[in-house]
Copies of this chain bind each other. A is one copy, B any other.
Amino acid sequence: MAKLVECIPNFSEGRDQAVIDALVNEAKSVPGVTLLDHSSDASHNRSVFTLVGDPEGIAEAAFRLCKLASEKIDMTKHTGEHPRMGATDVIPFVPVKDMTEEECVEISKKVAERIYNELKIPSFLYEASAQKPGRTNLAAVRKGQFEGMPEKLQQEEWAPDFGERKIHPTAGITAIGARMPLVAFNINLNTSDINIANAIAKTIRASSGGFKYCKAIGVMLEDRNIAQVSMNMVNYEGTPLYRVFEVVRAEAKRWGVTITGSEVIGLTPAKALVDCAEYYLQIENFDYGKQILENHLLG
């Protein structure tokens, strides 16, 4: 294997096990593609799949899953806590090996075109695939959700990138795009005051003047009675984990608070953590591609 792409489609079904099983079976049926992980949340009524494979296989899998979801999921009957606008709500493509973000942009466009041509489901291109400035951010794209989309699509600036100005009656509309791997990284504080976590989150997130590739909010871990800075690191090369960690540590000082621990949720590329070891161990001239043994085994 040479080029590898990850695809993390989100489906608007997290309760009906028969539908989830059908999607799992479909994901496993595509040659050249491996289903790494899938998880479903009943209160969100949503499932997240993680697939990896060669560019052709992953494009085929994304299409087939979107097709099956459109047959099995009726958005007019969907309820759940998580914002959503389509049966297949979002399809991100992520470069994993010997791939650039640009190549993933190409894949996203091809898949979006095919989904409209064959399934009549329109789509917005988002993140690195965005063709218009307001479409980089998924939250902005999805605003209004399934129920508000018919009206939104009539607005001058909200024509879909593929398809006409109307949603698929039951499958809605899908966001499709390329992005760097996301690392879900949370830092726990020795305080039960969520205001402190919120204040710290504000200092590090891009939207409040912090790091360009960091999204952050404060949350309470009720079971442990501690506040947490919960982050999505959307480009660990542009904004490394250790840098936000050290800034969180420094900002926490102002409140007399310390870091008690952190969490990495789900998968992370090894490099996101090896980069941190490089920083803390002050390693000079480290060549990730050449010096990490495993990089010679993935050929």
Which residues of A approach B to under 8 Å, CB–CB?
1, 4, 6, 34, 36-37, 52, 96-97, 181, 188, 241-242, 245, 259-264, 266-270, 273-274, 276-278, 280-286, 291-294, 296-299
Contacts and interface: CB of A to CB of B under 8 A. Distances in A.
Q: What are the nearest 5 A-B pairs in CB distance?
A: A273-B277, A276-B277, A280-B280, A261-B284, A270-B270
A291 B267 contact: yes
Contact of A285 (B263, B284, B292): B263
22 contacts: A1-B297, A36-B296, A96-B297, A181-B293, A241-B277, A241-B281, A242-B277, A245-B281, A261-B283, A262-B284, A263-B285, A267-B291, A267-B293, A269-B292, A270-B274, A270-B292, A273-B274, A273-B281, A273-B292, A277-B280, A280-B280, A297-B298
A161 to B, nearest CB: 29
A270 B297 CA distance: 12
Q: How many identical chains are in the complex?
A: 2
Contacts of A273: 273-274, 277-278, 281, 292
A270 to B, nearest CB: 5
Contacts of A268: 291-293
B291 A266 contact: yes
A190 B97 CA distance: 38
Contacts of A267: 291-293, 296
B270 A294 contact: yes
Contacts of A245: 280-281
Given A242-B280, A267-B291, A274-B277, A52 B296 contact: yes
Contacts of A260: 282
